[in-house]
A and B are shown apart, each in its own frame.
Chain A
Amino acid sequence: MGELYLFNRIQKPGYRGTLAEYAAEGGYAALRKALAMTPEEVVAIVKDSGLRGRGGAGFPTGFKWTFMPKPNDPRARYLAVNADESEPGTCKDRILMERDPHFVLEGILISAYAIRAKAAYIYIRGEYRASKIAMDSAIAEARAAGIINEKIMAPGLGAEVPLLAYTHVGAGAYICGEETALMESLEGKRGQPRPKPPFPANFGLWGMPTTVNNIETLANVPPIITKGVAWYQTMGTKPSPGNFLCGVSGDVNKPGVYELPLGIPIKSIINDVAGGVWKGRALKGIIPGGSSSGFLPKSIVDGGIAMDHDSLKNQGSFIGTASVVVFDETRCIVRAVKILCQFYHHETCGQCTQCREGCAWLDQIICRIENGDGREDDITTLLALCDGMRGKTICALSDAAAIPVQLALQHFRAEFEEHIRSKRCPLGNPKMEFHTDGRHSHDHLHNTQTVHTDVLTLHGIENPEAGRYRETMRHPS
């Protein structure tokens, strides 16, 4: 499958990603090469390469870096590295951090130099303890070897620059992957996204100019610096160059994370790379790029749709994290939508009415349809709700919650109607088990939503309304 430049070392048996091993593979040569240039030259190369962000939005990376202030601006600048990876279906950044941490670190340091950052902060989701340990020990090794420090000689500038990286951990909130929520969280606050403008390049971490980039995005930087723009563009397509890490999960024979060129047909990812749909079954549909990218049916996959930014956008979806979840013919789409709606309901930060209420309503209505209690006008209500949630909120989580419902209704509407009409799953899936243990309610998951009562109790006030919100969210049973 073409040349690998992200997983080439990880694939070697016995490679553990220590500094000695990484250096033996030519590691940190790209950093030396970059330090011999000016930061602006590095930015220009990355811009010319056409590299696009792998965190979800697909924004051109070099172009993003040019939004940072001019070199003579006296303010401190920061690089925030997004390792919050929590989009359902996505499991790629973790592999890079755990198994080749110096590679990730080199990309971070080059990028920090390019934007003249005072320091880089790597925001790792709280559950990724192994990633944090790997990154911390890589940072310690790099510090001991004199690769990172307060003052590192940069021949390209004829001056010493700070090259510093720190890890920071989250604590289980998906919304902290959104770039401004990530900054709030790094500042020790609730992860509630900030309205934009001001944009991070002007007002970011601690009010200073900041760039936010994903781990996989930054891992593309060292090879681009070493091998050049022309080499980079031999992979992928013109508008979406390079390789990407593709997590394939769900009903396939060989689930895994694979390095593939952008523009590869999704059908080929399923059949050639991941060994085809399991148990000899037929394909029903996919999630093409993490939960927020919604559902696409078999017909579109068979039609040869490619994994790149433009192809998916044309289908009302988007590339997102480029992580495919595969559903075989026996799966119930209503159930799948329900799981995602519960997820977004749990993860909304609650600032915007459209998102807070919309996520709760979507969850309740889908649950009732799935449970055989759907009403005739539920589909109309769902569509109206989704409409009200699109493009109207502080961050894109609201859109991310609505897209799966919209696409599922667009492509699998008959299945929803059949659930409502026959008051059960037409595929013969049993009624969801609403055990009294509350497995499928949110009680056991919710700390966030009860803050108003908690605040009162902190001040010693007993609140008669305590727990009311939880009650109203319980699914009909």
Chain B
Amino acid sequence: MSGGLPIPKPAAAAPNVKDPRACFSKETIARFDAQVKQYPTTRSALIPILHYAQEEKGWISRETIEMVAVYLKLAPIQVWEVATFYPMFHLQPVGRHVAWVCRNISCDLRGCNEIIDAFHKKCGVAPGQTTADGKLTLRLAECLGGCAQAPVMDIDGTYYENLTPEQVGSILDRLK
């Protein structure tokens, strides 16, 4: 079973989270607060808030789940079931950067497999794996909505389109 992401292991003991405001930066909390105001129910802000939390922490840990639950006055399971449903949330630590390479039909026709191979050649990662130096995690995405500019890749929210295998190396070099 190499290549698969491991199922997250539970922490040894449940962290006792009392004040989520102490667990996130001021900026992140301000984003939480602004998001909640948009909706008639606080629960509606959950997915955007998980994004903000992930942007700060890098991934969604069990502590983050519980902190968000306390913040939104939800049961932890209500947060957890959402975090596990949506593929963009990382339930285990990932590299400093995450590259999503589209593997769907238009990108397959236009050579996404060569892009994936280029990652392997350049830094030895296969889909689902993180480089040894913790710089990058490679994942496969379903259609990213750039089919007419295939093949497409998304690194940390920036799209790279009409990609060639040769470009992969220089794009990776530019990442810190």
Residues of A within 8 A of B (CB): 76, 85-91, 94, 125-130, 166, 168-174, 185-191, 206, 247-251, 255-257, 287, 291, 323, 325, 327, 331, 335-336, 339-340, 343, 346-347, 433, 435-439, 441, 443-445, 447-448, 450-451, 453-455, 457-458, 460, 466-467, 470-471
In whole angstroms, what is the CA distance A87 to B72 when docked?
A: 32
Cβ contact within 8 Å between A89 and B106: yes
Ordered by A's residue number, 20 sampled pairs between the chains whose C-beta atoms are within 8 Å are A76-B40, A88-B147, A89-B106, A89-B143, A127-B88, A127-B157, A188-B82, A189-B46, A247-B147, A336-B108, A339-B103, A339-B105, A438-B127, A443-B5, A445-B87, A447-B84, A454-B84, A457-B8, A458-B76, A471-B1
Residues of B within 8 A of A (CB): 1-5, 7-10, 14, 38-41, 43-48, 50-51, 62, 65, 72, 76-78, 80-82, 84-89, 91, 100, 103-106, 108-110, 113, 116, 120, 126-129, 139-150, 154, 157-159
In whole angstroms, what is the CA distance A453 to B80 when docked?
A: 12
Q: Which of A76, A172, A188 is packed against the most chain B CB atoms within 10 Å?
A: A188
A339-B104 contact, Cβ under 8 Å, with A171-B50, A437-B129, A447-B85: yes
Chain B proximity of A167: nearest CB distance (Å) = 9
Chain B proximity of A408: nearest CB distance (Å) = 12
Chain B proximity of A168: nearest CB distance (Å) = 7
**In the complex, which residues of chain A have a beta carbon less than 8 angstroms from the beta carbon of B140?**
439, 444-445
Number of A-B residue pairs at CB separation under 8 A: 223
Cβ contact within 8 Å between B150 and A249: yes
**In the complex, which residues of chain A have a beta carbon less than 8 angstroms from the beta carbon of B106?**
88-89, 249-250, 255, 325
**In the complex, which residues of chain A have a beta carbon less than 8 angstroms from the beta carbon of B81?**
190, 451, 455
Cβ contact within 8 Å between A127 and B154: yes
**In the complex, which residues of chain A have a beta carbon less than 8 angstroms from the beta carbon of B143?**
86-90, 291, 343
Chain A proximity of B35: nearest CB distance (Å) = 9
In whole angstroms, what is the CA distance A86 to B88 when docked?
A: 14
Question: Which one of B48, B89, B116 lies within 8 Å of A447 (CB-CB)?
Answer: B89
Cβ contact within 8 Å between B85 and A191: yes
Q: Which of B45, B76, B150 is packed against the most chain A CB atoms within 10 Å?
A: B150
Cβ contact within 8 Å between A457 and B10: yes
A187-B87 contact, Cβ under 8 Å, with A171-B47, A437-B127, A457-B9: no
A171-B41 contact, Cβ under 8 Å, with A91-B146, A436-B3, A445-B140: no
**In the complex, which residues of chain B have a beta carbon less than 8 angstroms from the beta carbon of A346?**
142
The chain A residue with its CB closest to the CB of B150 is: A249
Cβ contact within 8 Å between A189 and B142: no
Cβ contact within 8 Å between B145 and A169: no
**In the complex, which residues of chain B have a beta carbon less than 8 angstroms from the beta carbon of A189?**
43, 46, 82
Cβ contact within 8 Å between A126 and B147: no
A443-B128 contact, Cβ under 8 Å, with A250-B109, A339-B104: yes
In whole angstroms, what is the CA distance A214 to B131 when docked?
A: 40
In whole angstroms, what is the CA distance A471 to B82 when docked?
A: 23
Chain A proximity of B118: nearest CB distance (Å) = 13
The chain A residue with its CB closest to the CB of B161 is: A91
**In the complex, which residues of chain B have a beta carbon less than 8 angstroms from the beta carbon of A128?**
145
**In the complex, which residues of chain B have a beta carbon less than 8 angstroms from the beta carbon of A454?**
7-8, 80, 84, 91
4 smallest CB-CB distances across A and B, nearest first, come from A443-B4, A437-B126, A444-B128, A438-B3
Q: Which of B4, B116, B149 is packed against the most chain A CB atoms within 10 Å?
A: B4
